Amino acid sequence: MANHLKLFTPGPGDVDEDVLASLASPVIRHYGPEWMEIYNDVQGMLKQVFKTKDEIYFVPGPASALMDMAIGSLLATGEKIIVGVNGFFGERLAHIANRYGLETILLKAAYGKALDPQALEILLKQHADAKVVALVHHETGTTVLNPLQELARVANQAGRIVVVDAVSSLGGTDVRMDEWGIDVCVTTPNKCLEAVPGIGFISVSPRTWQLVDSHPQANHGWYLDLKTWRQYVTEWASWHPTPVTLPTNVILATRTSLKKIIAMGLEAHFDKYRRASQAVRTGLHALGFEMFVENAFASPVVTGVCRRPEFELTDMSRWLVEQRGIAIGSGLGELSGQMFRVGHLAKAATREYLVDFLFAMEEFLRYTGIQIQPGAGLVGL
């Protein structure tokens, strides 16, 4: 642990010690009465965070597997899907759709800009046969928070199914699955739920099942077929609600974290992220940085910051790691070298971490010869 870096990455984050301690619990069976109590407890808390009445399926794997599952289970090869693309993770959804041989219609926005509900409305009219709209809520690649509620409303009004990657938003900012008309919603514990990687959660609305059941030909294997997971929740509900062995300790750690989030209150948890992002935006602006995303669409979970001409971002990142033990996120794909990303997940939203990060940024600027008054970066705290 001596060399542990403080994580300001866009996920995973530095989680609390009691969450880590849960990982060291004795290994238990992923079935039977003892397990069902834990499973139902986590299921109930997740429903509160997803703001849904629908079942949440626990699928071991990374979030991308569950997005793959969602898109693959809903449509058959040759059918049409509309995919929102304004960053790295939107591109990934388009790749998934293409690999399934779907006719993929892109709702595009420039990197750093938000997806536009009016543009979606036009696409929906042009492609009345596209039954599904898939998009990312918080595009972690650019740090844009897409206007999910409006986008979902437009898609719902046109009678389409809305599939959402809420991996880096759920738990960190408001997501109302039922009220906003989100049909499929995916997340993982290792972002805003402040636990560790190893499992994904996916919730599915009743009208999505109608689509799935009307598509027996949308047959994409066994593990990543939503129907497999429904079958076990239905037929083995009382003692073994999943088709495979679960990473039980990961779920125990998730439970520990969820309990604290629920006890704190979701709104207070969102507020913690909001205040951290404000402190970072205000502080870095005072140090002469420009933000990558305008305030209206800026994410409270991760802040994107533009490069500046005085130094290379790779040199800055290396200095932060080597001199201050701080890890930040770099620009992904075409944004590499153009911007950096600062996560506000988990401990990165604490005052202790924020002071450490913002002061280290000042120190780096002074090291490169830029005149900065000591404490100038702390104005937003």
Is 325 a binding residue for ligand PLP by CB under 6 A? The answer is no
CB atoms within 10 A of CB 25: 12
When the beta carbons of 63 and 130 are compared against ligand PLP, the nearer one is 63
When the beta carbons of 187 and 205 are compared against ligand PLP, the nearer one is 187
Is 63 a binding residue for ligand PLP by CB under 6 A? The answer is yes
Q: How far is the CB of 196 from ligand PLP (least distance, A)?
A: 11
Build a one-symbol-per-residue string for 93-132: x at contacts with ligand PLP by CB under 6 A, - elsewhere.
----------------------------------------
Binding-site member from 188, 208, 256, 303 for ligand PLP (CB under 6 A)? 188
Binding-site member from 22, 86, 140, 142 for ligand PLP (CB under 6 A)? 140
Is 257 a binding residue for ligand PLP by CB under 6 A? The answer is no
Nearest of 201, 297, 190 to residue 246 by alpha carbon: 201
When the beta carbons of 11 and 377 are compared against ligand PLP, the nearer one is 11
Q: How far is the CB of 200 from ligand PLP (least distance, A)?
A: 7
Task: State how far the Cα of 112 lies from the Cα of 110, in Å rounded to an integer.
Answer: 6
| Sites for ligand PLP among residues 160-179 (CB under 6 A) | 165, 167-168
How far the first Cα of the chain sits from its last, in Å, is: 28
Binding-site member from 6, 7, 11, 192 for ligand PLP (CB under 6 A)? 11
Alpha helix ranges (H) inside the chain: 17-23, 32-50, 63-74, 88-99, 117-126, 148-157, 206-213, 226-235, 248-264, 266-286, 313-324, 351-367
Angle at 116 between CA 119 and CA 188, to 5 degrees: 125
Task: State how far the Cα of 348 lies from the Cα of 325, in Å rounded to an integer.
Answer: 13
When the beta carbons of 189 and 283 are compared against ligand PLP, the nearer one is 189
Phi, psi of 349 (to 5 degrees): -90, 0
Binding-site member from 89, 201, 273, 340 for ligand PLP (CB under 6 A)? 89
Task: State how far the Cα of 14 lies from the Cα of 365, in Å rounded to an integer.
Answer: 25
When the beta carbons of 93 and 130 are compared against ligand PLP, the nearer one is 93
Angle between helices 266-286 and 248-264 (to 10 degrees): 80
Is 287 a binding residue for ligand PLP by CB under 6 A? The answer is no
Is 64 a binding residue for ligand PLP by CB under 6 A? The answer is yes
When the beta carbons of 209 and 270 are compared against ligand PLP, the nearer one is 270
Build a one-symbol-per-residue string for 23-62: x at contacts with ligand PLP by CB under 6 A, - elsewhere.
---------------------------------------x
When the beta carbons of 340 and 364 are compared against ligand PLP, the nearer one is 340
Q: What are the tokens at 7? A: 């994580």
Q: How many residues bind to ligand PLP according to rule CB under 6 A?
A: 12
Q: Is 208 exposed, middle or buried (0-12, 13-18, 19+ CB in 10 A)?
A: buried
Q: Identify which range of 133-141, 267-275, 291-299, 322-330 contacts ligand PLP by CB under 6 A.
A: 133-141
Angle at 208 between CA 202 and CA 214, to 5 degrees: 130
Angle between helices 206-213 and 226-235 (to 10 degrees): 120
Q: Is 328 exposed, middle or buried (0-12, 13-18, 19+ CB in 10 A)?
A: buried
Q: Could you list the residues that contact ligand PLP (CB under 6 A)?
A: 11, 62-64, 89, 136, 138, 140, 165, 167-168, 188
